[in-house]
C-alpha cells in the first residue's frame, strides 16, 4: 500500500477508535483538510502529524507505526518492527 494511503487509513482508524469526528479537529485543522488526509489525497508535514496525534490522544510514533504496518502488511509484525527500531537507534547512538 502506498505510504500516503497507509497514513490515511491509520489516521481514520485511530480517530474512530478514539470516538472522534472530523469536527473534533477544528482547532488544529479544517474538516476539509482532514478529509483530504483521510482519503490519501495529501501528505501532512511532521508538525501536522504531531498535532493530529495529540488531538487523537496518542503519540505521533504510534500513528506513524500504524502507518508503516499498513504499508508493509506482509513484511513485519509489530514486535519485529520494534526490534528493528531498537537496533537502528542503538547503532545511531
pLDDT digits (tens, 9 = 90+) for 35-55: 999 999 999 999 999 999 999
pLDDT grade for 11, boundaries at 50, 70 and 90 = very high
Q: Are 70 and 1 in contact (CB under 8 A)?
A: yes
pLDDT grade for 57, boundaries at 50, 70 and 90 = very high
Using alpha carbons, select from 69, 66, 72, 68 the residue that is nearest to residue 16: 66
Average pLDDT over residues 68-91: 88
Helix axes 3-17, 31-38, angle to 10 degrees: 120
Other beta carbons within 10 angstroms of residue 14's beta carbon come to 19
User: What is the rounded CA–CA span in Å between residue 62 and residue 38?
Assistant: 17
Q: For residue 80, what pLDDT is reported?
A: 86
* Residue ranges of domains in the chain, CATH in brackets: 3-92 (1.10.260.40)
Q: For residue 19, what pLDDT is reported?
A: 97
Amino acid at each position: 500500500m502506498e505510504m500516503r494511503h497507509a497514513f490515511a487509513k491509520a489516521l481514520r482508524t485511530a480517530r474512530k477508535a478514539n470516538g472522534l469526528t472530523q469536527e473534533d479537529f477544528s482547532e488544529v485543522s479544517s474538516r476539509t483538510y482532514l478529509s483530504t488526509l483521510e482519503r490519501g489525497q495529501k501528505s501532512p508535514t511532521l508538525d501536522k502529524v504531531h498535532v493530529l496525534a495529540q488531538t487523537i490522544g496518542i503519540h505521533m510514533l504510534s500513528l506513524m507505526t500504524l502507518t508503516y504496518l499498513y504499508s508493509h502488511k506482509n513484511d513485519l509484525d509489530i514486535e519485529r518492527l520494534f526490534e528493528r527500531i531498537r537496533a537502528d537507534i542503538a547503532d545511531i547512538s
